[in-house]
Homo-oligomer: A and B are copies of this chain.
Amino acid sequence: MKEKMDLSIMDMGRMMQELFRVFKKRIESEENAEVKLSSEQFSLLHALSLKEEEVIQKDMAEMMGKDKSAVLRIIDCLEEKGLVRRVAAMEDRRKNYLMVTKAGYRAIDLYMVIVYELVKELRDGLSQEDVDTFHKVVNQIRCNAIKL
């Protein structure tokens, strides 16, 4: 029984990996954007756009669960593409506030169209109730994961 459960879990892991691959491929095959983004770049840009308060790099690293230097590297790319600006905080010059530029918001809008299309395709055949449960489970699992 335990063994059966474990197998099932690894199977699910592989399924989720497939989702990410599809997402990644879809994002990275976009050719109409002013700037090309990798899936990780887009994810961070999007997450940043949702924050209502000013955030610094360290905040994004924590939020995304990434190493600070990993975040720095991605922000470097986004800044170079003109989608994000670092603005030194006046009260503490070590801190950089991260701001999404106009071009950044345009890129987000464009890539969100892609995401929306993909999501529509992926949820074909699923009831709203199933999706809600899925969401609930993912949320609970994430809460558990954060405790680790």
Give me the interface of A with B, judged by CB distance under 8 Å.
Answer: 2, 5-10, 12-23, 26, 43, 46-47, 50, 64-66, 112, 115-116, 119, 121-126, 130-131, 133-148
Can you sample 23 A-B contacts with CB below 8 Å? A2-B116, A5-B116, A6-B116, A6-B119, A7-B50, A9-B115, A10-B115, A13-B20, A15-B138, A15-B141, A17-B64, A17-B65, A18-B65, A18-B142, A19-B141, A19-B142, A19-B145, A21-B66, A22-B145, A26-B148, A121-B148, A126-B140, A134-B138
Q: How far is the CB of A118 from chain B (nearest CB, A)?
A: 8
With A2-B116, A14-B64, A115-B9 already in contact, the answer to whether A123 and B144 are too (CB < 8 A) is yes
Instruction: Please determine whether B16 and A138 come into contact, CB atoms closer than 8 angstroms.
Output: yes
Would you give the shortest CB distance from A42 to chain B, in whole angstroms? 9
